Each structure stands twice: as structure tokens, then as C-alpha cells.
Amino acid sequence: MPNTLAEWLSYLEKLHPKTIALGLERVAQVRQRLNLQPYFPIIIVGGTNGKGSVCAMLESILSAAGYRVGCYTSPHLLDYNERVRVGKYPANDAELCAAFKKIELARNGQLDIGGLTSPPVLSREEREQSQEIPLTYFEFGTLAAMQMFIEQKVDVAILEVGLGGRLDAVNIFDADCAVVTSIDIDHTDYLGDTREKIAFEKAGIFRAGKVAIFGDLDVPQAIRTQADKVGAELWCLGNEFGYTAHQGQWDFHGKAGSRSALPYPALRGSYQMNNASAALAALDVLKGKMPVSMDAVRRGLVEVALSGRFQMIPGKPMLILDVAHNPHAARSLAKTLASLPPSPKTYAVCAMLKDKDIAGVVAALKPQVDMWLVAGIEATRGASADELGRMVEKAEVSNVERFDTVTEALHHAYNQAGENDRIVALGSFYTVAEVMRARGLRCA
């Protein structure tokens, strides 16, 4: 059995033949063996874009209110520990390894807390033939996170959906409040190729008798249909809750009342108002169990931090990090760039996965970018610099240069850019992570 966190992560990457294997049966079986029965409220956050921001805001506000918060998000940028936080602190290696060991013992039939009898210690061959349950990297990590939250006695857990919702591992747990932030086209191989098909999958986290929150003005019919079908109470931005922006502050209104004169969230971008409103609506849902004062809301909004979401790194030239990897996110990035004071030149350091809508991302950002510096990603699904370059050129962009790595592209950008120019690193978590390592940056 692995000992160090690095050994565990290497082991988990090879544990299942597929990186993504949607379905709840296997992970639910292991959950039953572990008898994972959360005693605390659970908020599950899904959606195409904005999931990480809503999770970060909820974590920040609830922590400011004095609650011990467990937060599980993905993917990570620099270290796996970022995915599992308790009390706003990332889990340490020893805690993760201990949780992984329990999941492994339950997965291969050597631990069954949920059963009436203790199973015998089996040989590897016997386990493979009888009781071993294959889990993906994400499924394994989801169970380990919940194991830690229960052991560390959190007051509330925030779980970010990995992919979709209906068949995602976090969906083995029932949400006291489910949030879907937005719906757009992404992960079409798994979720479908229309907003309605994708909305159906995302709405799989809704629960009967519980509130489901939708954080965008454009509500797909599938969101309404699924809420009605399962008996969830649907709250939609612009109807059951919303916001009014003012100079220097904003007001929130919801079914449980209003919160006025709020500071704008520390996360940049006008789209963050939708996310902040969805987070406050979720807090309204839980106010009977977990009341939150105005002071805690204000502190949480001001103190929230999330790396790689329009993260501005001061300097000359300025560096902006954004994990935008689909057209919806790219349009939001372009809008925020356009709202900044003009810059002589904007350099885009871009690397993406080949299964993403590269053309859509380029089209959205084309008006805001003067020079494209494209690079390959060292990942199974990574597009090569040449593949990415061809896609950018198809968008009738002539200022394109190719580099083997993101680090090389970044160095070139710094060599070419003037002190009043800006460099935007975008296209993937991989891209932002490599830039952060090259610049010696740490996560917020």
C-alpha cells in the first residue's frame, strides 16, 4: 500500500482504466462499506462555469460567521491538498494519506464499517475475484474528502461537482441545497451537445423537498422540468432572488429578505455578481440551521480569494491568470478585459486541451488580444502547439507564435511586452498552474 501522498496519487491515477467513468453504483458501494453518514448540512455546487467562485464565497462567508467549513473542489492548480480544506486550511499529507488508506481498505473488501460483520483479510487475488471495486481518481478523492469532513467534525460541507451532476461522485450525498451556477456547452462527449441536454445532467443534484438554486438569467427548460419532476423548490436569479448594483456597493434581495450596502466581492469580473447572489441565496436556504450575520457576509465577500479566476498579478507588465477553457468563460474574460483601462498590447499565453471548443474560445477573445503565444500541454488530452496554432489561425488571426511549453511562451511574452502591456495566461488549469510555477506564485 502507498505511504506518501505522491505515491498515493500515482496509485490512484492507475487504479481505474478510465480517467472519467460516470456512474454512482461503484462509489455508492464503497460509501456503504465505510458507513459515511454526514451529520451536517451539505451544499452541492454544479454548473458549467462559476462553481469554484460560488464555493469560495460560501466557504469565506461561512468561515467568517464562525462555522467550521469543509470544502471539496477540483481540479487543483499546484497541489492536490488544495482540493480538500477544513477551516479554510488545505488538508495536510498525513490526513489525506490516512483517509486514502481507509478508502482503499473498504474498496478492496478489507474494511466494512457499514456491514454487520467484519470481512476476512483477503489475498490480492481473492479481492480481485470477489469484492474489489474499481474507483476513478475523482471518486476515490470524493470519498476521502467526506471521510475527513466527518472525522474532523465540520459544521457544513461544500462539495463541487466534478463533471455534470447526475452521475458525478458527489451526487451520492444528498444536498440540503443544490446550486447550479450556469449552463453552457462543454464536456459534450459526456453531457450532450445542447444546453438542454447538459442542463438535464447538471440538474441531477436536485433533491425532493429541498431548494435548488439556478444562478443565471437564461434558465434552460430542463432545469425547470427536472426541479418539477423531483419535487425540488426552484429559485432562479432574476425571479426568486437577485441583486441591484450601485456605485461602490450592491444590494441582494431574496425570498428570506434583503441584504443592503454590500461590498463587491474580491473576485474580479462582472459575472461574479451572479455567483455572489447564488451564494447568498444558498445561505438563505440554510439560515434556520446556520444563521449568518451581515458582518460575516461583508467580511466573507471582501476576504474571498480564488487563484486563477481573473487573478491580477501586479507588475510591469501586468500578468492576469484565468483558467477560462470554454467559450462561455472566454466571453466573460473578454468582457472583463474590455472593462480595464486600455493597454498598448495584450499578449495571450494560451494552451488548451484538444477536446475543448478552441475555436469558440479564440473567437470570444480575438477582439481583446494582440498577440497569441500558443503552447502545448503535457497531458494525454493536451493539444500540441501546432494544433492550437492552426485553430487560432483559422480564426483569421495572423499574430501567432508557437512554443513547446507554456513556460517558454511566458518568457517570450515578458521579453517582448512593454511595461504598460499586459499578459493573459488562459485556456486550462494546466496553463495557469505552469505559469504560477514559472513565476514562483502560490495559491491564494
CATH code where residue 220 lies: 3.40.1190.10
Q: Same domain, yes or no, for 276 and 401?
A: no
Indicate whether 96 belongs to any domain. yes
The confidence score (pLDDT) of residue 123 equals 52
The confidence score (pLDDT) of residue 120 equals 47
Indicate whether 93 belongs to any domain. yes
Which structural domain, as residue segments, surrounds residue 89? 5-303
pTM (two decimals): 0.94
Q: Same domain, yes or no, for 388 and 246?
A: no
In this structure, are strands 346-350 and 422-426 parallel, antiparallel, or unpaired? parallel
Nearest to 438 by CA among 401, 402, 403, 387: 403
| Euclidean distance between CA atoms 275 and 371, whole angstroms | 31
- Sign of the torsion angle spanned by Cα atoms 287, 293, 296, 301: positive
pLDDT, averaged across the chain: 93
Tell me the HSE value of 140 on the side-chain side, using a 13 A CA sphere.
30
The confidence score (pLDDT) of residue 381 equals 85
Average pLDDT over residues 417-443: 96
Domain boundary among 280, 303, 326: 303
Q: Residue 374 in contact with residue 402, Cβ under 8 Å? A: yes
Q: Same domain, yes or no, for 271 and 320?
A: no
Q: Which amino acid is at 298?
A: R
CATH code where residue 418 lies: 3.90.190.20
Indicate whether 368 belongs to any domain. yes
pLDDT confidence bin for 318, thresholds 50/70/90: very high
Indicate whether 100 belongs to any domain. yes
| Euclidean distance between CA atoms 424 and 333, whole angstroms | 10
Q: Same domain, yes or no, for 294 and 317?
A: no
Domain boundary among 255, 279, 303: 303
Q: Same domain, yes or no, for 240 and 336?
A: no
| Euclidean distance between CA atoms 238 and 224, whole angstroms | 14
Indicate whether 444 belongs to any domain. no
**Among 153-157, 163-167, 233-237, 272-276, which stretch is predicted with the lowest mean pLDDT?**
163-167
> Which DSSP helix (H) or strand (E) runs through 278?
helix 272-285
Residue 247: Cβ-neighbour burial (10 angstroms; 0-12, 13-18, 19+) = exposed
Q: Same domain, yes or no, for 268 and 134?
A: yes
Indicate whether 19 belongs to any domain. yes
By percentage, how much of the chain surpasses pLDDT 70?
Answer: 95
The confidence score (pLDDT) of residue 117 equals 44
The confidence score (pLDDT) of residue 210 equals 98
DSSP 399-444: -EEEESSHHHHHHHHHHH--TT-EEEEES-HHHHHHHHHHHT----
Q: Same domain, yes or no, for 118 and 251?
A: yes
Average pLDDT over residues 358-369: 94
Plot region of 361 (φ>0 → left; ψ -120 to 50 → alpha; else → beta) = alpha
Domain boundary among 303, 331, 366: 303
The confidence score (pLDDT) of residue 116 equals 42
User: At 130, is the secondary structure helix, strand, or coil?
Assistant: coil
pLDDT confidence bin for 115, thresholds 50/70/90: low
Indicate whether 174 belongs to any domain. yes
Task: Give yes or no for residue 440 having a pLDDT over 80.
Answer: yes
pLDDT in tens, 232-256: 999 999 999 999 999 999 999 999 9
Task: Give yes or no for residue 22 having a pLDDT over 90.
Answer: no
Average pLDDT over residues 340-355: 94
Q: Same domain, yes or no, for 254 and 369?
A: no
| Euclidean distance between CA atoms 132 and 411, whole angstroms | 48
By percentage, how much of the chain surpasses pLDDT 90?
Answer: 84
Q: Same domain, yes or no, for 30 and 143?
A: yes
The confidence score (pLDDT) of residue 19 equals 67
The confidence score (pLDDT) of residue 444 equals 79
User: At 321, is the secondary structure helix, strand, or coil?
Assistant: strand
170: cell is 458527489
| Euclidean distance between CA atoms 374 and 180, whole angstroms | 32
Indicate whether 299 belongs to any domain. yes
Q: Same domain, yes or no, for 19 and 45?
A: yes
Average pLDDT over residues 168-189: 92
Q: Same domain, yes or no, for 133 and 22?
A: yes
Overall residue count recorded for the chain in this entry: 444
Q: Same domain, yes or no, for 160 and 116?
A: yes
Domain count, the chain: 2
DSSP 189-255: HHH-SSHHHHHHHHGGG--TTSEEEE-SSS--HHHHHHHHHHT-EEEEBTTTBEEEEETTEEEEEET
